[in-house]
Structure formats: C-alpha cells, structure tokens
C-alpha cells in the first residue's frame, strides 16, 4: 500500500487538501493555519540543511503535507467569507449581474446574480458577492438572460430554511454553492442597465449565449415538449422542459444521469472522436496527434453545454488522460484522476461538498479499481458479448461506487440499473450524435420535418422504454436512510474488500467483521 501511494503523488497531495478543507469548514480554527505553516516550513528547511537528506526525506513529506493543509484552510476560509452576508437588511440600491439564464417559477423568475456594488452616501461601494434574487413575472422580466445588468432597490438577507422540518438543508446548500444572501424584488423596483466599464468577455456568459442559441434551433426541430426535453437534456443538460412523470421515471430507474451532461456524455463523445483515429495505429506520434485533435473538440463541446461544473469536471479528467498519453505516461490511473480533483479543490475548496463532485469522482475511482476485477471474471470470443459484458461491469462498478452517497442524499436505490444502462447507453449515444448533427445543420439550413423522422423515432423508443422499465415491480427501493457514519463504514468496507481480493489476507476478514459489528451496535 505504501509503495502504491508513492507512485501516486497527486493522491497524496489531495489528502492534506481534503483534510484542511474539512477542518476549516467545521471548526474555523485560524491558529492551526499558522502552526501548520510554520511547522511545514521548518521541516522543509531542516531537510534541506541536513547532510544525509535521504535519511530525513520524511521531513520533506511532512513539510509539504503541512503546507498544503494550511493552503487549503486559507482557501476554504476565503470561500466561506465570500458566502457570508453582514450588510444591512433594509432596502438598498444594488447593481446586479445575472450569472445564469433565469429559471421560471410559479410567479417569479429565480435569478442567480453577482452583487457588483451598492449605493452609499459617498458613492458606489464594491461588494462582489453571489445572491439568489426572485423577480416577479412580467413582459420585461421574461426577456432577462445571463450577462444582463440590473439596478434594483431590494432588501437582501441571509438565507433561511424554506420548508419547515425538511431534511434538505437549504442554507448549507446555498453556502456551499457560494451564495451569500437571497432577496425578493417588488414590481417596479428594478431596471435594466448598461455596464459602462470595459472588461474582458465573460467566458461563462458567452458559453450560455451559445447554448441558448442552439437550444432555440433545437426547439424549431423538435417542437414537442417531451421530445425536446429529452434531446435538450441529453445534449445540453437542460431539464426545464421535462415533465414530472419523465423526471421521476429517470430517477426511479437509475437513468437520471443521462439528463445531466456529465462524465457519461463526455466519455461517449471521447469514444466517438477516438474511433476515426483508431485505425492510424498506436505509435507515439499518432497518439500525440490524436489527443491534440480530440482535446480542443472536447472543450468545444463543454463550451456549447454552457461550461456547467459537471461537464468541466469530466472534460478536465479526460484532458489529463489525453495529456498523460501525450507525454507517454499511463493515462487512466488514480493519479491522473487525483490531479483533476486536486486542481479543482485548490480552485474551489467547497467543491468537496458538491454532490455532483462527490458522485463523479467516486464513480471514476470505482471504475478504475473495481471494473478490471469484474471484467476479468468473464471473456468471450464474441465482440458483441464482450461489449455487453463491458457495459454491465462498468455500470456495476459505478453503481457500487456511488451507492452509499445515493442512499445518503436521495434515500433510494434502483434495482434495475443494469437493465437501464444496457438500454440507455446505446440509445444515448445515438441520440447524442443525431442531435449534434441536426443542430449543426439547422444553424445553416432549415431542415424539413420528414428528415427529422429518425430522431423522432429514437426519442420515442427512448421515452417508452424508460417508462416501461419504471413500471417493473420493485424497480426502485425507497425510504432508505443512513447517516454519514454509515457512508464512511460502507466505503471502508468496500476498500477492505478490494484489499482482500488483491492481498487475500485473513486480517481483512477480521476487520470487516469488526466493522459490521460496530455498525450493528451503532444502529441498535
């Protein structure tokens, strides 16, 4: 185990970062940062001045651990301060910038905004905090979009629980997303403004503008709400057009991940782009050329999907995969995945508490560790059977890796996930290709209705199949509840099982039995 960790430096760097984030988030003890920073620097200095550096190499490791622990504490403290609100709660005039396209609610539009500044007696004071603002529905608010600037007279306050007794902690959710406050705008208390100061274009806003244009083209191709909703979800991750029946069907069958553009879609696109270059060979120069051509296309896909966090995470992972292949290293490994996790946590420490971040990385870690074990259990000479078996093992690995988190957050577990993924993944691949082709063509020419028939046919099969799978008795087990200790125990048990498979030592059996005993006592 120690030798394995030595071969994964970024996994070792991620551990002090995660520890520092957790300590700062739950304790907010500032003096630890000073203590660990000083001890880390002292350890590195001692290592450098000692003659026999190899004998004292552990001092250098301890120093690096302490420094990254301190750095993650400082970055976490900075993000937590950005999500705190200590301004007056009476009505004030604010300048707001809309960060994402508003979401329609029953009587208002929910706008995610950044508070640029507030008006004071001495002029405009810069604030730079994120907020959730609700604007009443009317003809003017219906045209708001990402990138618009508003001036509003509004009372902003700290978030509070919107449903009494709900298990969902809305206040913590907003804090982890970086939102400091919420506000409700009265009719006539806001106006559109034009930002006078020149600044560099906002890449996120440009991406959302591109996505909005392509969604409008898609709506002209598929005017039906259900078909448009599925196509928009598969390609752009937009779920606004989906009705509750379809949302529940995807959730109950374990297929909700196809409606959020994430690792599955990026992996499918990567495989589709990889296929044309496969026949060129596996020489080092060909591998480099292949990745140089594929990676810009992958980021282009991330751009048209609005640079959502899930797509950026997945594309970042595949980018490191491609870079590893370019420099001739083992591409898909725990260290490669750890690089992307490490950089994301350094960029935004509160990503650690994002459900999507946790699910995606646990799924990838499970695929890397468990999938080779499962795939080695069976091999056929028939390529089709091998393909089906590969889908089953990858789906099972990802489901095992995310099961504790799914039970903890969503209190359910789909029993038909294997059937769902066998049905969904091939169809999602076809739909993704079809929608990309049709949307691209529609940007230049109007497509006659009869030419869209193949896409209609595929979407209809997709929707009908999901509904039939949902109607299978006991397709989903609900009302499952575990606490965070149960999540840790389940993951530790999985870790011990993997060790038992590789090492085959009786001590891991004893540890598993002891862990099960502790959990039984805990829940009793």
Q: What pLDDT band is residue 132 in, cutting at 50, 70 and 90? A: very high
| Dist CA 251 CA 248 (whole Å) | 5
If DSSP states are collapsed to H, E and C, what string results for 269-299?
Answer: HHHHHHHHHHCCCCCHHHHHHHHHHHHHHHH
Model pTM?
0.81
In this prediction, residue 2 carries a pLDDT of 46
pLDDT one-digit tens code per residue, 335-392:
777 888 888 888 889 888 888 888 888 888 888 888 888 888 878 788 788 878 887 8
Mean of pLDDT values over 128-141: 87
CA distance 321 to 208: 27
Which runs of consecutive H residues, i.e. helices, occur in 124-262? 170-177, 203-221, 225-236, 244-252
For 250-294, the pLDDT digits (tens) are: 666 666 666 666 667 777 788 788 777 766 666 777 778 888 888
Predicted confidence band at 87 (pLDDT cuts at 50, 70, 90)? confident
A 10 A CB-CB count for 174 gives 20
Give dist(CA 145, CA 149) in Å, integer.
9
pLDDT in tens, 211-223: 888 888 888 888 8
What CA–CA distances, in Å, run from 161 to 171, 172, 460?
6, 9, 40
Q: What is the predicted pLDDT for the residue at 347?
A: 87
Percent of the chain with pLDDT over 90: 2
- Residue 261 · residue 431 · CB < 8 Å: no
Q: How far apart are CA 504 and CA 506, in angstroms?
A: 7
| 462-503: pLDDT as tens digits | 888 877 877 777 777 777 788 888 888 888 888 888 777 777
Share of the chain above pLDDT 70, in %: 82
Q: What is the pLDDT of residues 421-440, one digit of tens each?
A: 777 788 888 888 888 888 88
pLDDT score of 25 more than 80: yes
Distance between CA atoms of residues 491 and 498, nearest Å: 11
Cα gap 300→140, rounded to integer Å: 32
Q: How many residues comprise the chain?
A: 524
Q: Is the pLDDT of residue 111 over 50?
A: yes
Cα separation, 398 vs 263, in Å, equals: 11
Distance CA 238, CA 254 (A): 18
Cα distance from N-terminal residue to C-terminal residue, the chain:
34
* pLDDT bucket at 31, cuts 50 / 70 / 90: low
pLDDT per residue as tens digits for the range 140-179: 888 888 888 888 888 888 888 766 555 677 888 888 888 9
CA distance 240 to 111: 15
- 334 versus 173: which is more confidently predicted? 173
């Amino acid at each position: 185990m120690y030798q394995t960790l030595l071969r994964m430096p970024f996994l070792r760097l991620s551990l002090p970062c995660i520890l520092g984030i957790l300590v700062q988030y739950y304790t907010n003890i500032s003096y630890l940062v000073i203590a660990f920073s000083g001890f880390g620097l002292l350890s590195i200095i001692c290592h450098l001045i000692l003659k026999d550096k190899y004998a004292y190499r552990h001092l250098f490791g301890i120093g690096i651990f302490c420094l990254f622990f301190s750095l993650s504490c400082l970055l976490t403290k900075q993000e937590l301060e950005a999500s705190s609100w200590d301004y007056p709660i009476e009505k004030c005039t604010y300048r707001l910038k809309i960060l994402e396209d508003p979401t329609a609610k029953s009587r208002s539009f929910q706008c995610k905004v950044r508070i640029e500044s507030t008006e004071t007696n001495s002029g405009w004071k810069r604030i730079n905090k994120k907020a959730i603002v609700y604007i009443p529905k009317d003809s003017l608010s219906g045209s708001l979009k990402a990138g618009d600037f508003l001036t509003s007279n509004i009372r902003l306050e700290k978030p509070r629980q919107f449903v009494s007794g709900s298990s969902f902690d809305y206040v913590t959710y907003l804090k982890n997303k970086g939102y400091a406050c919420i506000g409700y705008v009265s009719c006539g208390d806001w106006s559109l403004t034009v930002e006078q100061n020149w600044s560099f274009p906002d890449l996120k806003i440009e991406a959302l503008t591109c996505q909005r244009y392509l969604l409008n083209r898609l709506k002209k191709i598929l005017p039906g709400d259900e078909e448009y909703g599925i196509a928009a979800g598969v390609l752009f991750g937009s779920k606004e057009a989906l009705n509750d029946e379809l949302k529940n069907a995807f959730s109950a069958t374990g297929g909700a991940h196809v409606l959020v553009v994430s690792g599955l879609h990026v992996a499918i696109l990567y495989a589709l782009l990889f296929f044309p270059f496969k026949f060129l060979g596996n020489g080092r120069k060909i591998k480099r050329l292949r990745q140089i051509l594929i990676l810009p296309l992958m980021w282009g896909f991330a751009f048209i999907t609005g640079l959502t966090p899930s797509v950026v995470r997945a594309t970042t992972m595949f980018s490191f995969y491609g870079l590893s292949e370019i420099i001739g290293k083992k591409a898909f490994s725990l260290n490669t995945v750890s690089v992307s996790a490490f950089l994301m946590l350094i960029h935004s420490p509160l990503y650690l508490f994002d459900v999507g971040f946790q699910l995606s990385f646990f799924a990838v870690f499970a695929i890397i560790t468990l999938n080779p074990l499962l795939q080695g259990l069976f091999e056929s000479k028939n390529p089709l059977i091998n393909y089906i078996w590969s889908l089953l093992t990858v789906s099972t690995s990802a489901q095992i890796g995310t099961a504790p988190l799914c039970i903890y957050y969503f209190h359910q577990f789909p029993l038909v996930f294997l059937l769902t993924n066998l049905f969904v993944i091939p169809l999602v691949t076809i739909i993704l290709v079809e929608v990309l082709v049709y949307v691209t063509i529609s940007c230049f020419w109007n497509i006659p209705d009869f030419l869209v028939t193949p896409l209609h046919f595929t979407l209809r099969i997709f929707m009908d199949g999901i509904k039939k799978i949902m109607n299978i008795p006991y397709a989903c087990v609900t009302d499952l509840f575990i606490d965070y200790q149960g999540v840790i125990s389940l993951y530790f048990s999985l870790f011990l099982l993997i060790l038992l498979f590789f090492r085959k030592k009786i001590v891991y059996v004893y540890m598993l039995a002891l862990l099960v005993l502790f959990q039984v006592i805990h829940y009793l």
